[in-house]
Each structure stands twice: as structure tokens, then as C-alpha cells.
Structure 1
Amino acid sequence: MASYNRVVLVGNLTRDPELRYIPSGAAVSEIGLAVNDRVKKGDQWVDETTFVDVTLWSRTAEVANEYLTKGSSVLIEGRLKLDTWEKDGQKRSKLRVVADKMQMLSGRSGGGGPSGGGGGSHRSRSSDDAYGAPSDSYSQSGPVAPPDDDIPF
């Protein structure tokens, strides 16, 4: 049986990134992401917000800590991971996203919207070779916007 575990999310940070280093020296950062969806309830469209915890590793974690703040808009590509543990005799679990790629969508000043300027793209070290050199698919360019006449809405 085949399986596929990929997630792509666009949202805003709910808090500043929390950077720390594990004993091996690798950087890890935890961010909270608020992702909005519009659903129709009766005659009205209503915004529903989903809050997602995201883990960033290596240089991606350091870049997030340096450039992102609460409210920053970001695109995250990664995979779902289920954490399970036991606390006070009760089994607990939490679903989170482990990011492989992060694209900053707002400028350095933080939570801008469409006029927030371009950002950068950063991949985790997992996409780099053994010497830390980026793979061929590594991209540092900003987002590419389609021409205005190609926008489907």
C-alpha cells in the first residue's frame, strides 16, 4: 500500500520563533501558524482558523528566528508527524508539521499582507549534500507572481 505525507500551508505566525540548540549542535525552532479558511454557513461566509505547530531545523530555524516575528506571513512545506507521550498516567498525542521548506511571504518588518514585499526561500539541511552545499533544487529567489491576467479569481 502506497502512502504520501506532504503538507503545504500558508499562514501567519502566532508567536515569535523559539530558537534552541540540541546537544548535537543542530538548531531547532518551534513556530505556531494560524491558517484561515473560508466556509459557507447558511447564507454567510465565515473565516475558520486552524492553529498548527511547526518545527524547523538547521539553518531554516536560524533564518526564521532572524527574520520572522509574530504576524509574519509564511509558506511552509513539510510532513505531518504524530508525537505521543505519557503524562500523569494519561497517554497524550499531538499532530505537528516538520518543515522541509520555508518561504517568507512578508518583508523583514513582519506581518505585512500582499504589500509586505518579497521574502526568501530556505530549505532544511536535509536537502543539502554532506558538506552543507545546497542541492540543485535549492532556491533563494523570492516568490514568482503570475501576470495579472492569469489570476483565476
Structure 2
Amino acid sequence: MNVVTLIGNLATEVQLKELGEKKVASFLLAVNRPTKESQADFVWVSAWDRQAELCAEWLSKGKRIALDGRLKSRTWEEDGKRRDAIEVVANRVEFLSSPPAAELAEVVPFAVAG
């Protein structure tokens, strides 16, 4: 079973790229360790298509999220050396940080009767 659930804060801005007809958003997530010291693990995350667009539109460095996804390993050559990395491919991203008050003021959920 390949299932990952993480809660953390974005350590980078979201980078949105187009790969043919698909879109991918990538960012680094800082996940706090359950220790007394302030330590975190940093995990690369990718989200695809509509989820990628939403992440690029609403997330920024420092925002808190929860995600469900799966691990994916990658291998490539760089400077003649083999490199390996593991990233999380997000299936679902939940935005936990509240938007700034200015953004909330722009959203009118219903008309006020006068």
C-alpha cells in the first residue's frame, strides 16, 4: 500500500508548469517532527491538472496544508552521476490557512436583504 498523509507549511512558492496538455504544480512542504526541538522534514510535492491550478492560485510560501497522496521515486543523471529522489504526488490538498481578510471581503456568499 502506497499512501501518504501530511500536514505542513509550504517552504517555497508554488511553481506551475505545463507539460503538453497537463499541468503540474510543485512545491516544498515543511513537516514538523514530533520532538521538542524545532525540526522539520522537507518533502517535494507535486499536484496535477485542476489540483495544480488551485494550488498555484491559492497557495504561497508559509501557507498550511494537509494532503493525501502517494510516494513516487525518480531517477536521473546529472553531471555523469545517478541521482534519486522521492516525492509525494498529491491526490487531495486541503488548504488549512485562512485567506487574508482582503480576499475574504471579495467573496460574497449570498445577497443581503435590504
| TM-score for both structures, normalised by structure 2 | 0.84
The residue type paired with residue 28 of structure 1 is V
Q: RCO greater where, 1 or 2, for CA within 8 Å and sep 6 or more?
A: 2
Distance in 2, matches of 1:21 and 1:50, equals 28
Give the structure 2 partner of residue 21 of structure 1. 18
1:4-153 paired onto structure 2 within 5 Å: 4-23=1-20, 25-39=21-35, 45-109=36-100
Q: Sequence identity, in percent?
A: 38
Cα shift at 1:27: 1.2
Distance in 2, matches of 1:88 and 1:32, equals 24
| TM-score for both structures, normalised by structure 1 | 0.63
Distance in 1, matches of 2:6 and 2:34, equals 15
What do the CA deviations read for 1:72-117 (whole angstroms, capped 9, x no partner)?
00011100011001122211101100111100001123xxxxxxxx
Kindly indicate whether the alpha-carbon contact (under 8 Å) linking 1:68 and 1:108 is maintained by their aligned counterparts in 2: no
Bigger drift between 100-109 and 52-61 goes to: 100-109
Unmatched 5+ stretches in structure 1: 40-44, 110-153
2:37 counterpart SS class: strand
The residue type paired with residue 66 of structure 1 is E
Higher strand share: 2
